Amino acid sequence: MRLVFLGTGTSYGVPQIGCACRTCTSADARDRRTRSAALIESVGRRVLVDTPPELRLQLVAAGVGTVDAVLFTHAHADHVHGIDDLRAISVRQGAALDVYGAAGTLSELERRFPYIFDHTPPQPGTSKPQLAAHVLEPDCETGIAGMAVRAVPLPHGRDTVLGFRVGSIAYLTDAKAVPEAARARLAGLEVLVLNALLPRPHPLHLSIPEAVAAAQQIGARRTFLTHLTHDTPHAELAARLPPGIAPAYDGLVVEVGAG
């Protein structure tokens, strides 16, 4: 299996508009963080996690022209507002693209993007994504694109987001905590991805210290932090993290053994 980080930034992205801080003006390419998304690949098939606003740029940069399915963690703008870019994939394959998420997430996408989900053909000379929506039940395993995907519910303030375990990879973002019930589903991981927003506490997201503590409790062989802000440059964050835990960056590819 293979994990590709398409984007690793928070909702503002890095650099932020109008910001001249040392991260936003850094010459280190790892400090340029588009909004968070990832690919999980296995046996020639690809599952995309989230459709952020920069999705077109991310897929072009990764050399990816097709995906077999899309998983949505939740419906916040920084995770879904690139959904229209899926039309390039569904038009090319000539069939609907399967997308998966919690019932509430899919309902919100249908409300926000009615032209995609109204089951009417596009006007002549135009195109739109052709998507087939499937509800994922929390804490259940579903076969998606030849992979066994377990949806792991996580708290995000008053909301619930879905993390995903696929084989020995788990991708968890926008969580405020990883409850005991979720940790029980994450034993034996080779690679764990966790959001780590800021050096200080935040009401909706794991902080960097909280993410490190959660990673140590879960005990994956390797943990990568994502959904990062401009508060900490990549090199400085990497230098102060414990062994086995590292910041991800846009374009990072992680090879993962079978499991």
Residue numbers of the domain that contains 201: 2-254
Structural domain includes residue 16? yes
The model carries a pTM of 0.97
Q: Please tell me the distance from the alpha carbon of residue 25 to that of residue 21, in angstroms, as a whole number.
A: 6
Residue 206 maps to a domain: yes
Report yes or no on 9 lying in a domain. Answer: yes
Whether 259 is in a domain gets the answer: no
Residue 122 falls inside a structural domain: yes
For residue range 194-230, what is the model confidence (pLDDT) as tens digits?
999 999 999 999 999 999 999 999 999 999 999 999 9
Q: What confidence tier does 142 reach under pLDDT thresholds 50, 70, 90?
A: very high
Taking only the tens place, the pLDDT of each residue in 130-140 is 999 999 999 99
How many domains are contained in the chain?
1
In a domain, 77, yes or no: yes
SS (H, E, C) the chain: CEEEEEECECCCCECCCCCCCCCCCCCCHHHCECECEEEEEECCEEEEECCCCCHHHHHHHHCCCCCCEEECCCCCHHHHCCHHHHHHHHHHHCCCEEEEECHHHHHHHHHHCHHHHCCCCCCCCCCCCCEEEEECCCCCEEEECCEEEEEEEEEECCEEEEEEEECCEEEECCCCCCCHHHHHCCCCCCEEEEECCCCCCCCCCCCHHHHHHHHHHHCCCEEEEECECCCCCHHHHHHHCCCCEEECCCCCEEECCCC
Q: What is the pLDDT of residue 257?
A: 85
CATH assignment at residue 200:
3.60.15.10
137 is a domain residue: yes
pLDDT, tens digit, for every residue of 96-129?
Answer: 999 999 999 999 999 999 999 998 999 999 999 9
Separation between Cα atoms, residue 152 and residue 188, nearest integer Å: 15
Is 248 among the domain residues?
yes
